[in-house]
Structure 1
Amino acid sequence: MSQVGASQADIVALLGQGLSNTAIASQLGCDRHRVAVIRRAQGLPDVVAQPLTLEQKWSALTRALDGGHLEWCGEKVGPSESPVMRYKGRSYSPTKIAFTIQHGRPPEGQVKPECGMRHCVAPTHVEDQPGRTRLRDQLWLLRGGHARQTHCRRGHDQSVHGRNLPDGYPYCGACHQRAPEADPNEPQGAPCPS
């Protein structure tokens, strides 16, 4: 099944560039077993596969955009087209890899971009749950809000369940109630804005 024009000289030239049998066969449209026979006849060793590290594969599947954003060019799953990367038989979250690259540790909870770009995977743009809570608490305080209470109206510990909307507005992640300090004029038990 070799392509007309895929001469032995063409194959030898690509062997000299260090390409694998499969890569040469794919490039020239010929049978990889023919490439292997020619490799052996030339006395050349098989190419040892140099697998990419997890971070190298992640980097190869990203594309830089304006504003320091990184677009995920790899696999996306589900209706929301969530980025996913498969590596050595396992699935990984590209945003979690980005977080680990930036912080040198695995994330806690969900990792999301805080830059406003959906599915951005730039390491400097993603935060884990504690980091997101810390940043949004700071935003709330800068906007004139009060410090988060230790417990919500229903008694949930806010060091565990405290969350914030992207604009910093605090709420309880367990019962989805507005934090008491969010609006003192708000009736007790008012639902968190969606």
Structure 2
Amino acid sequence: MNASDEEITALLHTGVSNNAVVQELHVDKHRVAALRRTLGLPAHQPQPLTLEQKWATKTRKVDGGHLHWTGTLGSSAGTPVLAYRGTVVTAASIAFRIRTGRTPVGYVLPECDYHHCVAPDHVEDEPGRQKAREQLRYLTGGTARPDRCVHGHDQAAHGKFEEDGTSYCGRCKAEKRAAARARETAGV
């Protein structure tokens, strides 16, 4: 082997790709591929980043312990999203999984004042938000929410809390929104 073949062989044995050898040593790609075959080395298998590692590459720390999303924004609301292995997930849901180790339930939203913050300690899923809001209700002198709303919906299943701890019926709210959309569609 001449010196160039030795250099190529040394790099191939480190586990890099053929393209990496070509770029580093400025040699012909066919020559590198032939040497890989002669040496009996398998084709390079890239080590893809985990979802969490890829998420981390798209964040930037800002004052207050917040994380700013530098990656893709989806929808008209500008929700931070990440494409990974053929699916798109929200950056906040990944942050939630990093903190809790579980898949979130419902929307994951920041509970701080930084718009679209994706810091794991700043995001919460629907049950977590509702629990915190219920606790706030009691801390501010509120009483337990009623068992049923004025329309008879079971509040154990449909009851929710606003940010200030005020209770409301999630089903009633959803029905009102659906009726409003229907009126808009009908042109009323």
- The alignment's TM-score, normalised by the length of structure 1, stands at 0.69
Identical pairs, percent: 45
Cα drift, residue 112 of structure 1: 1.0
CA distance in 1, matches of 2:44, 2:85: 20
Distance 1:60 1:36, change over 3 A: farther
Gaps of 5+ in 1: 1-7, 178-194
Cα drift, residue 164 of structure 1: 2.1
Given the alignment of the two structures, is residue 52 of structure 1 paired with residue 49 of structure 2, yes or no? yes
CA distance in 1, matches of 2:80, 2:20: 28
1:84 to 81, 84, 94: 81
**Letter aligned with residue 130 of structure 1:** P
* Count of aligned residue pairs for this structure pair: 165
Cα drift, residue 130 of structure 1: 0.9
Aligned to 2:97: 100
Distance 1:139 1:19, change over 3 A: same
Question: Structure 1 or 2: larger helix share?
Answer: 2
Aligned to 1:180: none
Gaps of 5+ in 2: 175-188
**Letter aligned with residue 109 of structure 1:** G
Distance 1:132 1:36, change over 3 A: farther
Aligned to 2:58: 61
Alignment of 1:23-34 (within 5 A): 34=28
1:96 is paired with a residue whose SS is helix
Given the alignment of the two structures, is residue 155 of structure 1 paired with residue 142 of structure 2, yes or no? no
Does the CA contact (< 8 Å) of 1:77 and 1:84 recur in 2?
A: yes
Could you give the per-residue CA deviations for residues 116-169 of structure 1, whole angstroms, max 9, x where no partner exists? Answer: 222111111111111100001111222222222222111122222222222222
> What CA RMSD, in Å, does the superposition of the two structures yield over aligned residues?
3.1
Given the alignment of the two structures, is residue 143 of structure 1 paired with residue 137 of structure 2, yes or no? no
Cα drift, residue 18 of structure 1: 6.4
Given the alignment of the two structures, is residue 109 of structure 1 paired with residue 103 of structure 2, yes or no? no
- The alignment's TM-score, normalised by the length of structure 2, stands at 0.71
CA distance in 2, matches of 1:85, 1:69: 18
CA distance in 2, matches of 1:24, 1:64: 35
**Letter aligned with residue 133 of structure 1:** Q
